[in-house]
């Protein structure tokens, strides 16, 4: 029997998290390289309607793993449900998107099964019959190819944006959907989650901005943010920041770009003194053009920049403001 | 807490291309600094004791010394060069073995490390101990039944979760404002207890690593980057030309 790849898609409040399509694309690519069978699963109460949506893609089968105890999400219930399911199905490889929810339960699940997770991967290689997964290390400065040395199931999570969700192939016919009821014993769930909420309305919506000037640690001091502000004003753009700047209170949280802030795709993203940690990059790598100014020539931000300026932002920005003003007349 | 290479330290690969050369500058993993700060603040509110633990070579003791100087009461050092090469599962097993006789109410970790970035050790440790956990925490309050924590979700969403103790929490950076060590603190730290645990003492709890770094390398660029060079005024002129003629944002 061929080995099986299982993609566990993510649902929140009965809706498919779109990042799941990227994981389906990843699963299809690995299936094509290895010849393994691709299946998918949805976990949660009311998973059936999402399973039907996933069944339109090129997958052999979709499982809807259901129990009333899976709502609301808790790591205890999700790990228990998937452990039961995976123990009976024995897939070779289990793929998930590297979301905050997956990060919350998948290390627990793997540990409960005596297995391991290669987390936050950005790709895979299949060479000479060996499957390795590529992930960023040291905040993206280096990359590593990592292999499993243990038995199945192998757990892998993929970083947001590593595969193209819109490239997930549709199936020739709809895949069969099987509902699986899991039994979660009383007392397994220890956490009591309350309602999900959004903190005070975001005053700034950066997702619509055409030009963004973003500052990182390289700005050094709060008072220096003023020159970035001047540049943003001159360009008719918005000011944004990486997480450490907002953590320090130098700019409000609603100006933060990255996994815990906003995800943007402006025409121009001008990064000043931003090293380019993964958590920041996932929030801006879709920008049409990226200009990066950083004094460290090895800063990971340059990996994704269209235009790189290695130098001191305090030397570069003032004349740039003047030139932009001149150009605008 | 974990010691990691300094953020802007230039990294060199070792000869076998499986890890970095050790001769770089190190610092405390930033999310772990927030975890320590939160522990100190909880102790200030509720009394008790703050214990810091790290695993790593002799150099990692610096992380513990700094934590003691900031106010931690005592420290545990799983000391051996080999601890660096353990995967997250084995690291968590080593920590669990080293603290088996302790009676902690809460264990805090940073939400991930700046070197591996696996974001797993805390959650694995919780499972090994049989404790509940919650991740990416932005607030912790004591209540009648245990604690109420605020979890950060994606895209600006949050959620409060009530949970019993003992528990493991992974702490998000920015949950609090970090303090600096005082001169008095640094002085006092010298007399605070620091227990060393050797690899031999926890070896029986460890297994083979379940995953292996086959190769570590400088990532291949996927994007064509144009370097703009010259004196600042020159760079500014060239950039404005790009902004106008290529990017059309002016």
Taking an 8 Å cut-off on Cβ atoms, the answer to whether A327 and B240 are in contact is: yes
Q: How far apart are CA A84 and CA A243, in angstroms?
A: 38
Q: What is the rounded average pLDDT of the residues B137-150?
A: 96
User: Which residues contact residue A7 at a Cβ distance below 8 angstroms, ignoring those fewer than 6 apart?
Assistant: A20, A23, A24, A26, A27, A38, A39, A40, A41, A59, A95, A96
pLDDT-derived band at A161 (thresholds 50, 70, 90) equals confident
pLDDT-derived band at B8, boundaries 50, 70, 90: confident
Read off the pLDDT of residues B89-133 as tens digits, 9 standing for 90 and up: 999 999 999 999 999 999 999 999 999 999 999 999 999 999 999
The predicted pLDDT at position A201 comes to 60
- Which residue in the set B161, B210, B217 is minimally distant from A191, CB to CB? B161
Which SS3 state, helix, strand or coil, does residue A63 take? strand
**pLDDT given at position A14:** 83
**Nearest by CB: A116 against B152, B210, B239:** B210
pTM assigned to the model: 0.87
pLDDT digits (tens, 9 = 90+) for A133-155: 999 999 888 999 999 999 999 99
Which run of H or of E encompasses B128? helix B121-129
Within 10 angstroms of residue B208's Cβ, the number of other Cβ atoms is 10
Tell me how far apart the alpha carbons of residues A210 and A266 are, in angstroms, rounded to a whole number: 5
Three-class SS string for B69-109?
HHCCCEEEEEECHHHHHCCHHHHHHHHHHHCCCCCCCEEEE
Return the structure tokens found at A127.
């060479």
Q: What is the structure's pLDDT at B165? A: 97
The answer to whether the CB atoms of B212 and A307 lie below 8 A apart is no
Token reading at A264: 């943007």
Instruction: Give the pLDDT confidence of B40-75 residue by residue, as tens digits.
Output: 999 999 999 999 999 999 999 999 999 999 999 999
Q: Cβ–Cβ contacts within 10 Å for residue B46, how many?
A: 10
Residue A2, pLDDT above cutoff 90: no
Where do the domains of chain B lie, and which CATH numbers do they carry? 3-205 (3.40.50.620)
Confidence of residue A200 (pLDDT cuts 50, 70, 90): low
Render pLDDT for B157-176 as a digit per residue (tens, 0 to 9).
Answer: 899 999 999 999 999 988 99
Q: Which residues 90-109 in chain A show a CB within 8 A of chain B?
A: 99-101, 103-105, 107-108
Q: Which residues of B touch A246 (CB under 8 A)?
A: 174
A-chain residues near B209 (CB < 8 A): 149
Q: pLDDT at position A204, please?
A: 79
The pLDDT tens digits for B203-225 are 999 999 999 999 999 988 777 89
What integer pLDDT is reported at residue A205 of this predicted model? 81
Angle at B103 between CA B98 and CA B107, to 5 degrees: 75
Q: Does B176 touch chain A (CB under 8 A)?
A: no
| A144 touching chain B per CB within 8 A | yes
Average pLDDT, chain A: 93
Q: Is B87 on the interface with A (CB under 8 A)?
A: yes
> Is there a contact between A232 and A238 (Cβ–Cβ < 8 Å)?
yes
* Predicted pLDDT at A145: 97
């Amino acid at each position: 029997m061929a080995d099986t790849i299982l993609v566990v898609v993510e649902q929140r409040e009965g809706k498919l998290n779109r990042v799941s399509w990227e994981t389906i694309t990843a699963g299809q690519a690995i299936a094509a390289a290895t010849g393994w069978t691709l299946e998918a699963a949805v976990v949660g109460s009311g998973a059936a309607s999402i399973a039907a949506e996933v069944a339109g893609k090129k997958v052999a089968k979709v499982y809807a793993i259901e129990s009333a105890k899976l709502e609301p999400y808790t790591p205890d219930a999700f790990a228990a449900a998937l452990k039961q399911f995976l123990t009976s199905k024995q897939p070779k490889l289990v793929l998930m998107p590297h979301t905050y929810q997956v990060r919350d339960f998948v290390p627990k699940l793997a540990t409960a099964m005596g297995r391991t997770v290669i987390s936050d991967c950005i790709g895979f290689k299949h060479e000479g019959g060996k499957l390795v997964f590529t992930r960023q290390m040291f905040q993206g400065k280096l990359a590593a190819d990592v292999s499993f040395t243990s038995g199945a199931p192998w757990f892998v999570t993929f970083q947001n944006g590593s595969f193209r969700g819109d490239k997930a192939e549709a199936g020739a016919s709809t895949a069969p959907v099987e509902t699986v009821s899991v039994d979660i014993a009383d007392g397994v769930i220890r956490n009591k989650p309350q309602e999900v909420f959004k903190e005070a309305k975001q005053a700034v919506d950066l997702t619509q901005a055409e030009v963004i000037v973003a500052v990182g640690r390289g700005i050094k001091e709060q008072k220096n943010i003023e020159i970035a502000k001047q540049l943003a004003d001159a360009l008719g753009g918005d000011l944004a920041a990486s997480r450490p700047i907002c953590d320090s209170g130098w700019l409000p949280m609603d100006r933060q770009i990255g996994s815990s802030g906003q995800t943007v795709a402006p025409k121009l993203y001008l990064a000043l003194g931003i090293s380019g940690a993964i958590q920041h990059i996932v929030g801006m790598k879709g920008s049409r053009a990226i200009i990066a100014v950083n004094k460290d020539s090895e800063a990971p931000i340059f990996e994704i920049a269209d235009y790189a300026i290695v130098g001191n932002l305090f030397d570069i920005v003032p004349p740039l403001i003047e030139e932009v003003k001149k150009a605008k007349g | 807490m974990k010691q990691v290479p300094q953020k802007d330290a230039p990294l060199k690969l070792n000869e076998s291309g499986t890890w970095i050369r050790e001769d770089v500058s190190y610092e405390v993993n930033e999310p772990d600094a927030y975890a320590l700060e939160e522990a100190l603040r909880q102790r200030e509110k509720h009394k008790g004791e703050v214990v810091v633990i790290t695993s790593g070579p002799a150099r990692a003791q610096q992380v513990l010394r700094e934590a003691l100087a900031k106010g931690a009461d005592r420290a545990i050092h799983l000391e051996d060069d080999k601890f660096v090469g353990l995967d997250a599962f084995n690291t968590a097993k080593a920590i669990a073995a080293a603290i088996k006789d302790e009676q902690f109410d809460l264990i805090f970790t940073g939400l991930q490390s700046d070197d591996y970035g696996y974001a797993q050790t805390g959650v694995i440790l919780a499972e090994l101990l049989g404790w509940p956990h919650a991740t990416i925490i932005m607030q912790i309050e004591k209540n009648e039944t245990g604690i109420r924590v605020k979890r950060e979700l994606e895209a600006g969403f949050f959620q409060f979760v009530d949970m019993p103790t003992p528990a493991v929490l992974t702490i998000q950076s920015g949950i609090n404002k970090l303090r600096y060590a005082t001169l008095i603190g640094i002085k006092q730290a010298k007399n605070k207890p620091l227990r060393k645990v050797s690899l031999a003492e926890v070896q029986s709890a460890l297994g083979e690593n379940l995953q292996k770094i086959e190769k570590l390398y400088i990532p291949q660029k996927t994007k064509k980057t144009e370097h703009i060079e010259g004196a600042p005024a020159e760079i500014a002129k060239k950039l404005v030309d790009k902004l106008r003629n290529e990017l059309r944002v002016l």
